[in-house]
Amino acid sequence: MQVVTDPTATRAKVFGSTLAPQSYSFLATALSIGNDSAEFRMRVPIRVITENKLVISLLPGQRFSGSGKLITSNEARVAGIFLLRSNFIIESRASPWARTLNSIRYHLRELSKGGDAGALVPGMVLGDTSLQSAQFREAMRRCGLTHLTAVSGANFAIISIFVLWCMQWFVRSMRWRIIFTAIALAGFIGLVRPSPSVLRAAAMASVVLFAKAFGKRSDSLPALGFAIAAVVIADPWQGRDPGFALSVLATAGLLLLAPKIAIKLSRFLPRALAQALAPPTAAVVMCAPILVALSGYIGPMTILANLLVAPVVAIVTVLGFIAALLSPISPMLAGFILYFAKIPAGWISLVAHWAARFPVLELTTGAFGFVIALSVSIALYIFYKFQKRVLICAIIVIAILTWFMRWPGGDWQIANCDVGQGDSLVINLGDHRAIVIDAGPDASLEDRCLNQLGIREISLLVLTHFHADHVEGVAGLTNHRLVRQVWVSSNNDPLFESQRIIAMLHGIPLMVANTGMTSAIDGKWGKIYLQVLWPDLGTHDFGVLPGDGSAINNSSIALLVRAPDFSLFAAGDLEPPAQAQIVAKLSAVDIYKVSHHGSSYQDQELMARLSPKLAVISVGEGNSYGHPAAQTLAALTRLGSRIYRTDKSGGIAISAKSHHFKVRTGIGNAWWQKVRLG
């Protein structure tokens, strides 16, 4: 096999209760595949995934061999996935060119370490995002700055224009300047790696460079068409890549819309401000429909965030590029230049984290049409002198409809986040405060949900037990939020997950919950009373049920919550042996957060005692565990419970008043459904 892309560490995935070991992934070309009886020579693209750390030393162009398993893949660009397991042998050395380029990448990455600002520089300059945290990438995505986390067409254009500007001191002919700039651009492609996205960015940048160099905007559209055709002919898979569509639309916006927007804005804004505001506005307007389709939301702060960082993007790119070239030769000088590059990079990071705190507009299929209508209205206004009053009315109508269709809606009291196959339930205390029960398996999903809910302070965090699908999202939960206190089922569990999570919560008061513990917390709608029903301090030897982690599941914190307007019972992944121990302590409740994602392991007497009016099941779509079980759903239905599950409804928000409830879901954002009790 021959390496095509650099091996990179993949984000650790949660599989049920456990966190998968660190693995590495890269693209390669399979030159021959065989077994003991036959060998086939070929040349097909595959993706290699392995836990072997030695692959991190591989460089593009090197050949290697190994044993493993070949499976099918949903990735369009590859013929299959090769799970490399043993007999890993490097068959050839990397070329001097590859080693030189890798040296530049390595030294810049090492010199850039330290904070989000340092992590951003290798991403913007070389497309190396290995230093960026998941929280930082999520913040950049939420505020519409994700194009700055890695090399894009804009970065290529900046480097090209910088090289073209430098050429004026050495070459008089514009034609030769363009030729030398093109050569430099080709070298830059090798430095950042000629992946499909990089080649696409280079093609789009060449259009901007052409327009800038010759000052002929009338020729920019044919140039863009030529670039589109060249990219698709060279790599037909680009035609179905959303990133390709975004690159094309953003480039078209910069070339066609931005000048017109600048003219319109300059009528009532200073010219410099109008010209600064025009490019991000044009890009957002053109890309909005696809961005909404991909993410399901649009950030109102996108244009402002892009405007605030626009003046420093070129500074970071140029200084980082110079530092990268110097880093293998003179690390001290490169470090000095990087010090100044990190200042504007720090500004970008500051803007991203600030803008990410603002709520985003969660959009449904219907609202997606409104965004398209808004984009079309603005385009008609700019190109065809559409009446201002029509545009203003369209914006007002879209804003009102979007507001009413948002999740979680108005005065919600309980929300169950859609975190996939995991648990995270939020009880609203008002004033952006909440009680959170479990943090789900994904930091980004947890952070996104709490941002949607407007939670800035967590008065109490309850981690029912240390399984990955309940605690791996803690990093997202603590991201820019104050956590007052944490309850856990144990603080001396030898599990890898528990030690990591407790380390993340260092400095936050931590208590081990056990039977009989109570607490009262003031909320907007009155006091919230919490009572721990399990675990107790005794020693139990429960029988092990099929599946994983029964002993840990049965150590889950069982929590009874009572408020003036509702009562709720939540018990993590508690299974029948432990459920039977607390049945006598239970009575009817309004809401039951069904244990263990609605699995078949439920104590029927416990459900009968609870007789919930609303049953909330936190479960991942298409999970391999068969959750929720048909018999559990049938039992809840017989009890007269209204069942809501995150795999079907997305996030679930419940508004309670005098034990009357309204429920709003995150998928489809159906209008409030009223459920009367009693």
Enumerate the domain spans of the chain: 2-94, 96-144+300-361, 366-401, 414-542+550-669
Residue 178 CA to residue 161 CA, distance in Å, equals 10
pLDDT of amino acid 301: 77
Spatial contact of 100 and 94, defined as CB atoms under 8 Å apart: no
The 10 Å CB-count burial string (b at 16+, else e) for 105-136 is bebbbebbeeebbbbbbbbbbbbbbebbeebb
- Classify domain 414-542+550-669 by CATH number: 3.60.15.10
Whether cis (ω within 30° of 0) applies to the bond prior to 628 is: yes
pLDDT of amino acid 461: 96
In one letter, which amino acid is 515? T
pLDDT of amino acid 172: 77
Spatial contact of 475 and 11, defined as CB atoms under 8 Å apart: no
pLDDT mean values, one per 10 residues, the chain (678 residues): 86 67 88 82 90 88 91 84 90 88 89 89 86 82 78 72 80 76 79 71 69 59 79 81 78 80 82 76 74 66 79 86 90 92 93 80 50 59 58 62 65 92 94 94 87 90 91 86 90 58 86 92 94 81 58 89 96 90 93 94 92 94 88 94 92 91 71 42
C-beta atoms surrounding 143 within 10 Å: 26
Positive/negative CA dihedral, 42, 44, 50, 55:
positive
pLDDT of amino acid 546: 54
User: Residue 81 forms beta bridges with which residues?
Assistant: 47, 71
Positive/negative CA dihedral, 168, 171, 175, 180:
negative
Radius of gyration of the chain (CA): 28
| CA 142 from centroid of its chain's CA atoms | 9
Tokens 């600064």 label which residue? 276
pLDDT of amino acid 674: 42
What are the phi and psi torsion angles at 575 (to 5°)? -110, 170
CATH classification number, 2-94, choose in 2.60.120, 2.40.50, 3.30.450, 3.30.70: 2.40.50
pLDDT of amino acid 319: 92
Residue 40 CA to residue 55 CA, distance in Å, equals 24
pLDDT of amino acid 177: 77
Residue 234 CA to residue 554 CA, distance in Å, equals 57
For every residue of 605-635, DSSP letters joined together read HHHHHH--SEEEE---TT-TT-PSPHHHHHH
pLDDT of amino acid 491: 55
SS3 for 336?
A: helix
